[in-house]
């Protein structure tokens, strides 16, 4: 295990694209598995496979290319440059990634109207993301080395994927719906008699 952990930084420097994309995919998929666990149902590995497919074919690659493009267009870590990158990310990158998630999941699930989730949940989810992603990317653009930025986004994306997959499955794109589910589950667990 220790050898693998030491090899990871070397892999990120030598093979930044596949290393970042695979780490991103693993973390994003784990977010789906966690939200299934939090909802209390049985594990749906087909659903997690769909999330992993979308993450490895689009999201991980998009994030890798997007973050490198931002760095080339706006190099450096000066406060003004970092804020411009964050603004670009929220106005362009975020909506593209979010739209692709809802439409891509609908396609992979074989839904008749592949744009329904996008139409119903996009704005709520986008507004929720504005409470999280600007702070993540502020840290990313000012502190994280370029060759780790996609992996860092995936690490922070683990929490986001947990919320996003919940929203796609049963939520409405708001934090309120996630909190209601968690509160209901906690109340249900407290009312159950202890197992003998």
Give the torsion through C-alpha atoms of 134, 179, 157, 139, to 10 deg. 30
Reported as a single tens digit per residue, the pLDDT across 6-51 is 665 666 667 778 777 888 888 889 989 988 888 887 889 999 999 9
Q: Is the pLDDT of residue 116 over 60?
A: yes
- Global confidence as pTM: 0.84
Q: Which of 5-14, 64-73, 83-92 has the lowest mean pLDDT?
A: 5-14
Closest CA to 129 of 107, 102, 111: 102
Task: Say how far residue 163 (Cα) sits from the centre of its chain.
Answer: 8
- In the chain, where the domains are located: 10-189
User: What residues have CB less than 8 Å from 138, skipping those under 6 apart?
Assistant: 82, 83, 86
């Amino acid at each position: 295990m220790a050898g693998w952990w030491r090899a990871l930084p070397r892999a990120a420097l030598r093979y930044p694209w596949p290393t970042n994309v695979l780490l991103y995919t693993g973390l994003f998929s784990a977010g789906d598995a966690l939200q299934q666990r939090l909802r209390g149902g049985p594990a749906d590995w087909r659903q997690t496979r769909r999330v992993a497919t979308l993450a490895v074919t689009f999201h991980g690659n998009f994030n890798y290319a997007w973050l490198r493009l931002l760095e080339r267009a706006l190099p450096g870590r000066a406060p003004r440059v970092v804020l411009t990158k964050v603004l670009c990310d929220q106005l362009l990158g975020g909506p593209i990634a979010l739209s692709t998630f809802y439409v891509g999941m609908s396609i992979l699930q074989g839904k008749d109207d592949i744009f329904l989730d996008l139409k119903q949940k996009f704005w709520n989810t986008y507004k929720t993301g504005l409470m999280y992603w600007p702070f993540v990317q502020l840290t990313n653009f000012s502190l994280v080395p370029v060759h780790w930025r996609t992996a860092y986004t995936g690490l922070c994306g683990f929490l986001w994927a947990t919320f996003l997959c919940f929203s796609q499955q049963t939520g409405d794109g708001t934090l309120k719906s996630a909190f209601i589910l968690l509160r209901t589950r906690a109340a249900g667990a407290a009312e159950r008699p202890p197992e003998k």
